[in-house]
Amino acid sequence: MERENTQEHVLIVGGSSGMGLALAERLLARGSEITIVGRSEKKLSQAKQHLRGDTKLHTLSTDITCEDEVESLFRETGPLHHIVSTAADITGVYVPLSEMDTRTARKVMDSKVIGPLLLAKHGAPSLSHGGSITFTSGIAAYRPAAKGTVVAAVNGALESLAYALAIELAPIRVNVVSPGWVDTPIWDAVAGDGKDAALDSMAKRLPVARIGQPADIAHAIDALMHNGFVTGTVFHVDGGQRLI
């Protein structure tokens, strides 16, 4: 997948759905070249259909928790301007601590901390001057809830990782977007049939009086990517949830 390094090329891990897909749509509309990465070939194919088979869109199946696959990923992509990760595997993690399976906890840690660490390790050499890496953490790091111990821990760890990477990888910029409650497919797994009621209840509590949408987070990531004077920063896009 050899390319000229003149046009903006953005790698989006987790770009086959939710916030990552919204970012891909936003950047493609502006003329950027996009490579979206995920583990599911089916979801990647659906994303490509959703984005109408844009010729500037590429898809690659990769498990970012496997170092060999991450190394191969960056050999395939060639030069990049920005790396974004919205990926998270939190299936089965919202349980009481007494019922927590350590294998599940490690799976979440791998997807939210080890994966981003590997993306930085092997992706930094592919980034152009002025390039950036942006991760997504979440409100759980600031407003932890019962049954959410592991999610709170990994989001906090990811933000600390970004602070350190911003120093070690400079002048590459490393930032984090911390979303609040956003209406994405992940809520189907978290809340099941109670999704609509849970989101509606939170919307009534938030100062902005609504739940976030994937486009809100895409806008925030875009802003961090293209502001060359921002690094080592957590950008809160939570509708004011930290205040209530």
What DSSP string describes 32-100? Answer: -EEEEEES-HHHHHHHHHHTTT-TTEEEEE--TTSHHHHHHHHHHH-SEEEEEE-----TT--S-GGG-
Rounded CA gap, 104 and 91, in Å?
Answer: 8
pLDDT digits (tens, 9 = 90+) for 109-152: 999 999 999 999 999 999 999 899 999 999 999 999 899 999 99
**Is the pLDDT assigned to residue 2 strictly greater than 90?**
no
Place 6 in a pLDDT band, splitting at 50, 70 and 90.
Answer: low
> Is 159 part of a structural domain of the chain?
yes
> Is 203 part of a structural domain of the chain?
no
pLDDT digits (tens, 9 = 90+) for 33-54: 999 999 999 999 999 999 987 8
Give the domain CATH number at 172.
Answer: 3.40.50.720
Q: Which of 73, 71, 64, 158 is nearest to 111 (CA)?
A: 64
> Is 48 part of a structural domain of the chain?
yes
Dihedral angle sign, alpha carbons of residues 196, 200, 206, 207: positive
Number of domains forming the structure of the chain = 1
Residues 6+ apart with CB under 8 A from 229: none
Annotate 119-142 with b (16+ C-beta within 10 A) or e (fewer): bbebbbebbeeebbbbbbbbbbbb
Rounded CA gap, 231 and 244, in Å?
Answer: 27
What does the block give as tokens for 55? 């010729």
- The range of the structural domain enclosing residue 23 comes to 9-186+214-237
> Is 50 part of a structural domain of the chain?
yes
One-character DSSP codes across 106-168: HHHHIIIIIHHHHHHHHHGGGEEEEEEEEEE--GGGTS--TT-HHHHHHHHHHHHHHHHHHHH
> Is 52 part of a structural domain of the chain?
yes
| Cβ neighbour number for residue 208 with a 10 Å cutoff | 13
Percentage with pLDDT > 70 across the chain = 96
pLDDT digits (tens, 9 = 90+) for 159-170: 999 999 999 999
> Is 195 part of a structural domain of the chain?
no
